[in-house]
Structure 1
Amino acid sequence: MISLRRRLLIWLLPAALLAGLLASAATYWGALGELDELLDDQLKGIAQHVVVEPDGRLSLRGMQGANEDRLSGQQSHAVLLQVWRGSTAVFSSDRDSPLPPPTGAGFADLSVNGQLWHSYATRNGDVIVRVAQARRARWEAVAEIAMHLLWPVLSLVPVLALFLWFGIGYGLRPLRKIAANLKRRDANNMHAIGTAAMPGEVIPLVDAINDLLWRLDHAFTAQRQFIADAAHELRTPIMGLTLQADLLPRAASATERDAITAQIRTGTARLAHLAEQLLTLARLSPESPTPDFSEVDLTALARGVISDRVRYAEMNQIDLGLVASGVVKTRGNADSLRILLNNLVDNAIRYAGLQARVDVLVNREDGCATLKVSDTGPGIPEEDRELVWERFYRGSGHAASGSGLGLSIVRRIAEQHRAIVSLGSGENDRGLVVSLRFPPTTPSVAEQGRRHGAIVG
């Protein structure tokens, strides 16, 4: 399991160590310049301690305790002292020094045997006092300073790691609180998590979780309502079938037995249709994945649906036909659109009444494919047109039986296809027209060339 705390520690600890190393390097280079100035002043000061007495003797004030190690110029804490008279060395703190005679007073850099020396000389008559120090000795002094700065940084790494470990743990405490809050909940507790005391960085995560909880609550509520409605709707046909099955053995005559058998078949067909509609509606729930879309010929689709329903229409004495303006195509899922049109045609046949006319109209208006199903039946009153989209709502004044799910399924499929669905009245305010207007698409060349009026029915 990947630990967020460990991951942060792996990134922060090297970053802190690198910052310490960079700070030490910056201090090193800064100290190098400061140390050069300081040691230059030291060279000056030592040179000024050398005094030439009136009798010609040299007096080294303050240098009585000097020794060869102290005055060799090879160590970071030492300098080389020389006194020259002309080109003759009258005094040297290091007799083996290879430095040549000085050429003048002031600061000078000498390169002898591949080694760089930094020197300062003062002139008093024909006497020149020179104080020198190897450049390498200065670098060693700076290196000692840098090491003294680096060791505290390195020694603080464990302490820093400890502070980072507990600091990150403290920073992640809100996440543990959220986890504990969710762990204490059951499936019925979908209340939002409060964000008042949450850090700003955690609020987007909490908002996303709250949005998920809201959607889950909405889905669970819809599911519970759907199950309750389905159970209520299934209870009536099941009870009817149970009652007819109990009456069948008690039938007194063949005629009564045939009547009960016919009622059982009708009830079975109604129950099968209701179960099919329920399964279709469950597949079309908002949480279901969006079906694959492709180019669909609405005219061919309508022709196939009418061919499947023409015998059913004849049994109900319905004149079923197709009015199409050639090939009309749109983007969609052919199976879903077939279910949609099947439901519209079934509803029209079921509720239009005897001797009615049902037409399926396919057209293109203003670049948009349109699909309409109109009938000459009693229609739907204005006050009921918003209610019929609800599940299991059948309205009043209809003798035909139905599941009350057809228009709910139509609306779900229309939403998947971003189509606008509406209810209207037919000619002379009679009947019902269900219209679907699909998003605008560019018709193909073949579709444009084959446009012509066609009536089937």
Structure 2
Amino acid sequence: MRSLRRRLLIWLLPAALLTGLLASAATYWGALSELNEVLNDQLKGIAQHVVVEPDGHLSLRGMQGANEDRLSGEQSHTVLLQVWRGTTRVFSTDRDSSMPPPQAAGFSDIEVNGQLWHTYVERNGELLVRIAQARRARWEAVAEIATALFWPVLSLLPVLALFVWFGIGYGLRPLRQIAANLKRRDANNMQAIDTAAMPVEVKPLVDAINDLLSRLDHAFTAQRQFIADAAHELRTPIMGLGLQAELLPKATGSHERDAITAQIRAGTARLAHLAEQLLTLARLGPESPAPVFSTVDLTALARGVVGDRVRYAEANEIDLGLVATGVVTTSGNADGLRILLNNLVDNAIRYAGAHARVDVIVSREDSCAMLEVRDTGPGIPEEDRARVWERFYRGDGHTSSGSGLGLSIVRRIAEQHHARISLGGGEDNRGLTVTLRFPRGRPHVVNVDEDKTSGTATV
């Protein structure tokens, strides 16, 4: 299992080591620059200590015994001193030095036998005094300084690792508290976690967890309500089927037996319809996967639904037809839109009453695809129009049986398609018109003759 503390430690310690190396490198180059200035001043100072006596002899103030010590200038703490008269060397602290005569006064770098020397030459009358030091000696001196600074940094790494380890553990304490809080809960406790004392870095995580808990609470509540409503709605047809099944063996004649059988068939059909609606509503739940959208021909879709429902309309003495002035397309899920239109048409046929007319209208208005189902039945009172979207609500005054789920399914599919749905009156304020306005898109209309498919049943 991966450890966040170990991961942070693996990142922080190399970063600290790299910082120490960079600091040492910066110290090295800074010290090199400063040391060069100091040593250059030293070269000048030594050159100024060379004095020519009146009798022509040299006097080296403060450097007695220098010649005997053989100061070669190849160590960081020594320099090479030479005195030249023209091209003749009259004095040198290192008799073995093969350095050529100086050409001019001032600072210069010369290479002798593959070794680079930094020199300073000062003119003293007819004499040229040269002070030289090997470049390598300077670099060694600076390296000693940088090494002396780097070792303390390296020795502090274990201490830093210890502090980082316990510091990260202390910083991760809020996460352990959140885990302990969630572990103590059961499935019914969806209360939000308090974020008042949470660090700002942990607060986004806690807010996301609280949002998830809120959505889970909403989903569980909706699921419990759905199960309770479904159990209530299923109880009535199941009890009815049970009673009819008990009465069937006790029937005294064929007429009574046929009546009971017809009621059993009707109850079975209603139960099957209710189960189908419940399954459809469950598939359209808020936590269900988003439907796959494609270009849908609403006119062809409506023509198919109307064609499938003609016989059912005839059996209920309903004039069912399609009104379309062109091929209208929109972006959507064809299966979902077919379920939506099936429910609207079924509701209209079921509640419009005998000899009513139901029209499915497909059109386009202001680049928006429009789908309407209009009937000439009793309609829905305005005070009930806000509640008909609720599950299992059927209103008062309806004699037709139904599940009360059709409009709930319609609204859910409309929400998935971001379509606006509204209820209004029919022609001359008679009946009901359900209107769906889909989001604005590119118009795609092919003008054709008006299509009117109708079916009228007679008694």
TM-score normalised by L of structure 1: 0.90
Counterpart of 1:454 (choices 426, 431, 451) is: 451
SS at match of 1:451: strand
Q: Which amino acid aligns with 1:423?
A: L
User: Contact 1:84 / 1:91 at 8 angstroms: preserved in 2?
Assistant: yes
Aligned counterpart, 1:201: 201
Q: Which amino acid aligns with 1:251?
A: A
- Equivalent positions of 1:15-414 (< 5 A) are 15-50=15-50, 60-64=60-64, 71-83=71-83, 89=89, 91-102=91-102, 107-120=107-120, 130-414=130-414
Task: Indicate how the Cα distance of structure 1 residues 378 and 124 shifts in structure 2: closer, same or farther if over 3 A, else same.
Answer: closer
Could you list the per-position Cα deviations for residues 267-289 of structure 1 after superposition, in whole angstroms to 9, with x for gaps in the alignment? 11111111000000111112211
C-alpha distance in 2, partners of 1:84/1:133? 17
User: Contact 1:321 / 1:360 at 8 angstroms: preserved in 2?
Assistant: yes
Q: Which amino acid aligns with 2:438?
A: F
1:109 shift after superposition: 4.1
1:265 shift after superposition: 1.5
Task: Indicate how the Cα distance of structure 1 residues 150 and 70 shifts in structure 2: closer, same or farther if over 3 A, else same.
Answer: farther
Task: Indicate how the Cα distance of structure 1 residues 69 and 179 shifts in structure 2: closer, same or farther if over 3 A, else same.
Answer: farther
Task: Indicate how the Cα distance of structure 1 residues 408 and 61 shifts in structure 2: closer, same or farther if over 3 A, else same.
Answer: same
C-alpha distance in 2, partners of 1:373/1:112? 105
Task: Indicate how the Cα distance of structure 1 residues 122 and 400 shifts in structure 2: closer, same or farther if over 3 A, else same.
Answer: closer
Q: Which amino acid aligns with 1:456?
A: T
SS at match of 1:349: helix
User: Contact 1:70 / 1:79 at 8 angstroms: preserved in 2?
Assistant: no
C-alpha distance in 2, partners of 1:437/1:124? 105
1:106 shift after superposition: 5.4
SS at match of 2:439: strand
C-alpha distance in 1, partners of 2:452/2:77? 112
Could you list the per-position Cα deviations for residues 177-198 of structure 1 after superposition, in whole angstroms to 9, with x for gaps in the alignment? 3333222222222222222222
1:85 shift after superposition: 6.2
For this pair of structures, how many residues does the alignment match? 454
Q: Which amino acid aligns with 1:115?
A: Q
Task: Indicate how the Cα distance of structure 1 residues 53 and 423 shifts in structure 2: closer, same or farther if over 3 A, else same.
Answer: same
Q: Which amino acid aligns with 2:370?
A: T
SS at match of 2:118: strand
1:102 shift after superposition: 4.9
Task: Indicate how the Cα distance of structure 1 residues 68 and 14 shifts in structure 2: closer, same or farther if over 3 A, else same.
Answer: farther
Task: Indicate how the Cα distance of structure 1 residues 266 and 142 shifts in structure 2: closer, same or farther if over 3 A, else same.
Answer: same
C-alpha distance in 2, partners of 1:418/1:129? 95
SS at match of 1:94: coil
Task: Indicate how the Cα distance of structure 1 residues 116 and 441 shifts in structure 2: closer, same or farther if over 3 A, else same.
Answer: closer
C-alpha distance in 1, partners of 2:77/2:120? 17
C-alpha distance in 2, partners of 1:110/1:346? 105
1:80 shift after superposition: 2.2
C-alpha distance in 2, partners of 1:65/1:424? 119
C-alpha distance in 2, partners of 1:123/1:437? 101
C-alpha distance in 1, partners of 2:28/2:369? 78
1:396 shift after superposition: 0.4
User: Contact 1:357 / 1:375 at 8 angstroms: preserved in 2?
Assistant: yes
SS at match of 2:132: strand
1:392 shift after superposition: 0.3
Report the more deviating stretch, 47-56 or 287-296.
Answer: 47-56
TM-score normalised by L of structure 2: 0.89
1:71 shift after superposition: 1.8
1:384 shift after superposition: 0.3
Could you list the per-position Cα deviations for residues 379-400 of structure 1 after superposition, in whole angstroms to 9, with x for gaps in the alignment? 1111000100100001001111
1:87 shift after superposition: 5.7
Q: Which amino acid aligns with 1:455?
A: K
User: Contact 1:70 / 1:77 at 8 angstroms: preserved in 2?
Assistant: no
C-alpha distance in 2, partners of 1:293/1:84? 97
Task: Indicate how the Cα distance of structure 1 residues 307 and 122 shifts in structure 2: closer, same or farther if over 3 A, else same.
Answer: closer
SS at match of 1:295: strand
Aligned counterpart, 2:457: none
Could you list the per-position Cα deviations for residues 252-271 of structure 1 after superposition, in whole angstroms to 9, with x for gaps in the alignment? 33333322222221111111
C-alpha distance in 2, partners of 1:223/1:141? 80
C-alpha distance in 2, partners of 1:441/1:412? 21
Q: List runs of 5+ in structure 1 lacking aligned partners.
A: none
Q: List runs of 5+ in structure 2 lacking aligned partners.
A: 455-459
C-alpha distance in 2, partners of 1:101/1:319? 124
C-alpha distance in 2, partners of 1:187/1:91? 98
Report the more deviating stretch, 132-141 or 195-204.
Answer: 195-204
SS at match of 1:328: strand
Could you list the per-position Cα deviations for residues 13-50 of structure 1 after superposition, in whole angstroms to 9, with x for gaps in the alignment? 33332222222222212111211222223334444555
1:54 shift after superposition: 6.6
1:65 shift after superposition: 6.5
Task: Indicate how the Cα distance of structure 1 residues 112 and 271 shifts in structure 2: closer, same or farther if over 3 A, else same.
Answer: same
Q: Which amino acid aligns with 2:265?
A: R
C-alpha distance in 1, partners of 2:370/2:121? 105
SS at match of 1:422: strand
Aligned counterpart, 2:440: 440
C-alpha distance in 1, partners of 2:52/2:299? 122
1:108 shift after superposition: 4.9
Q: Which amino acid aligns with 1:294?
A: S
Over the matched positions of the two proteins, sequence identity in percent amounts to 80
C-alpha distance in 2, partners of 1:128/1:334? 103
User: Contact 2:70 / 2:94 at 8 angstroms: preserved in 1?
Assistant: no
Q: Which amino acid aligns with 1:117?
A: W
RMSD (CA atoms)? 2.6
SS at match of 1:369: strand
Report the more deviating stretch, 376-385 or 52-61.
Answer: 52-61
